[in-house]
Amino acid sequence: MIVSFVQTKGGTGKSTLSINTAFSKFVLDRFRSIALVELDPQGTLQSWWQERVAEGRDSYHVSFHHISSTQKEVIQQGISAIASHNDLLILDVPGESTSKLHTKFACAFSDIVVIPMRTSTNDESAFKNNLLPLIKELVKLTPEKIGSFFILPSFTNPQANKEKIIDYFNEILPNYIRCLPVVYPSRSVYENFNRDGMHIREYADSLSSNKRAYAQTYKAVDDIELIADAIFKNME
């Protein structure tokens, strides 16, 4: 199975979500071998993984792969090779305003495409102009892709009424894209959990001597478990 985090707009949480979903308890318990695949030529996850290895962290049955090519055939071959050895692939796709090569690839070859998106007029119009036409075209050519695309409301205020946000998205979205029944709240812990190659649960556990920080960080761990559950529920 292939799950992608896609959004042509930069900085919406794709890489953060890719890392933490791959290491969520939900995913670790359900898949025997998980491949975290970075398609971003910038290689942010690659550096993070190198730190992880240098720190000697246990990655259980998660492996990391970086595909930096901008040739569709090379990307396709790389993904097929990884898919033949793993139950689940999680693709971290770069934010792309031009060419959109990786975005198009991920939309066409994934079983589930998760689109983290903020509730802002700017993000909504960027989505309508950039990503939506691409998905619309794909669904027209391949109707069986309907049901693969999900918005994840991101950077939501942790106090906000999440049902309202989800209803809002479902109202404005065309019928071939649904909103996941969950949100990805904005929390400062997401800005620094990844030091020394950690994922969010490792970071929370590293704070266990400070009860308050630990409880605060565990809210983010819970966010991720709920998100993983919502993503994979669609496959059962």
Ligand X SMILES: Nc1ncnc2c1ncn2[C@@H]1O[C@H](COP(=O)(O)OP(=O)(O)OP(=O)(O)O)[C@@H](O)[C@H]1O
Residues in contact with Mg ion by CB under 5 A are 14-15
Q: How far is the CB of 10 from ligand X (least distance, A)?
A: 3
Residue 96 touches which member of Mg ion, ligand X, none, C-beta under 5-8 Å by kind: none
Q: How far is the CB of 223 from Mg ion (least distance, A)?
A: 18
Residue 149 vs 190, nearer CB to ligand X? 190
Residue 145 vs 190, nearer CB to Mg ion? 190
Residue 10 touches which member of ligand X, Mg ion, none, C-beta under 5-8 Å by kind: ligand X
Residue 88 vs 93, nearer CB to ligand X? 93
How many CB atoms sit inside 10 A of residue 115's CB? 26
Q: How far is the CB of 52 from Mg ion (least distance, A)?
A: 17
Residue 88 vs 224, nearer CB to ligand X? 224
Q: How far is the CB of 85 from ligand X (least distance, A)?
A: 25
Cα atoms in the Cβ-side hemisphere of radius 13 Å centred on 169: 28
Tell me how many helices (H) and strands (E) the chain has. 10, 8
Instruction: Tell me 186's DSSP state.
Output: -
For residue 222, report the phi and psi dihedrals to the nearest 5 degrees. Answer: -65, -40
Residue 187 touches which member of Mg ion, ligand X, none, C-beta under 5-8 Å by kind: ligand X
Residues that bind ligand X (CB under 6 A): 10-16, 40, 94-95, 155, 184, 186-187, 190-191
Query: What sections of 23-160 are H helices per DSSP?
Result: 25-30, 44-54, 72-83, 101-109, 121-126, 132-141
Q: How far is the CB of 233 from ligand X (least distance, A)?
A: 21
Q: Are strands 88-92 and 34-38 parallel, antiparallel or unpaired?
A: parallel
Coil, helix or strand at residue 175: coil
Contact 185, 157 (CB under 8 A): yes
Residue 49 vs 190, nearer CB to ligand X? 190
Burial classification of residue 29, based on how many CB atoms lie within 10 Å of its CB (0-12 exposed, 13-18 middle, 19 or more buried): exposed
Residue 184 touches which member of ligand X, Mg ion, none, C-beta under 5-8 Å by kind: ligand X
